[in-house]
Amino acid sequence: MTTFALIGAGPGLGAAVARRFGREGFDLALISRTQDHVDALAASLNKDGIHARGFAADVRDHQALTAALDAATATLGPIEVLQYSPVPHKDFMKPVLRTTGDDLQGPLAFSLFGPMTAVKQALPGMRDLGRGTILFVNGGSAVRPHPERAGTSIAFAAESAYAAMLHDSLASENIHVAQLIIPGAIAVGDEHTDPGLLADTLWSLHQLRGDFRSYAAPMGT
């Protein structure tokens, strides 16, 4: 089987998505900032018969992210599915009137240059396989900018534009690119944003290969 690389492998949505893809037979490359955290998640998955390995990288450190993805490929095999879903830092969310150009360096490194680095590393393997899926997960500010969260809103908009262009450019190569918008907070038991339900949605996006953008819940007014 091929590899599912999860960038942003946390205890909530990340763990749920890892289990969902792992149950389908994928080997799992779990990537997050802290080695202890991804090792603990990998150990939990391995106990359930899901083959997972943890790799540490801060997505803003593009050399470290490249090295983590290279190590994942060397250890587990080619990446067929790449998911980019790390949770943005709180300090990216200043009000727009207090946000300067310098304040955007972190959010853009996190939400634009990070996924660009990841896609660059994963694409050759997908092309060799003749298939692939790239999944982007974003909050509602990706499509409806929030003036109190300016850095993330701007960076998510850039990430969305990049992902949409990938969707159009890679379709002819049998590489599907999809974005899931999750308005509001992810919450266990919620009818729209329970992590298990979101994991099922992301699996469906990989399997059905439909439109570029999907919504986990209505955006509201």
Report which DSSP code applies to 86.
P
3-215 under CATH 3.30.70.100, yes or no: no
CA atoms within 13 A on the CB side of 153: 14
| pLDDT of 219 | 80
* Strand stretches in the chain, DSSP E: 3-7, 27-32, 52-56, 79-84, 132-139, 175-182, 213-215
Q: What is the pTM of this model?
A: 0.96
Domain boundaries, the chain: 3-215
Number of C-beta neighbours around residue 129 at 10 A: 15
Q: Decide the pairing of beta strands 27-32 and 213-215.
A: unpaired
DSSP-H helix ranges across 48-149: 62-76, 105-108, 114-129
Question: What is the pLDDT, as a whole number, of residue 220?
Answer: 66
pLDDT in tens, 100-129: 999 999 999 999 999 999 999 999 999 999
How many C-beta neighbours within 10 Å does residue 15 have? 19
Query: Alpha carbon of 69 to those of 13, 46, 59, 110, 176: distances in Å?
Result: 20, 20, 11, 16, 19
36-90 pLDDT, tens digit per residue, is: 999 999 999 999 999 999 999 999 999 999 999 999 999 999 999 999 999 888 8
